Structure 1
């Protein structure tokens, strides 16, 4: 199942995580979406490869808290830079 939303004009949205572990007093996202749930890097890369094969040349990465990507699966350390570097290596 794809996690991206089809968009026009040669770009796609790619969801890399769902939910949020922050409990900001003004925000209801943790109650609606639940805790941070990051997708594993190989899964995301496979999806980006599919996008590239289908002519997509721009990927817009989405999450409720993008900067915390991977903290739930990597002992509290963000994997965002690792993911971006691996995406950059794809052709």
Structure 2
């Protein structure tokens, strides 16, 4: 059995916004996520947004996405997660 590392990034620490759907950073995360969980619990107030991105989708040479495609605001955190061996990154709002 393999045990994989999952890093987490609280996007609110890197990007200022009122609701996640107002920022291109969240749009990039949503477009590249392998798992999405959003607008749940309190949909009238945007709800909770959580997305999981498989890091091989960023680091694999056969993929269409590279580290340079990651929005600048979160690129350093994503690079750090990958450098520390994270197989997945959970992006969230600190909730």
| TM-score of the aligned structures, taking structure 2 as reference length | 0.33
Tell me which protein shows more strand as a share of its residues.
2
Larger Rg: 1
- More RCO (CA 8 Å, sep 6+): 2
| TM-score of the aligned structures, taking structure 1 as reference length | 0.34
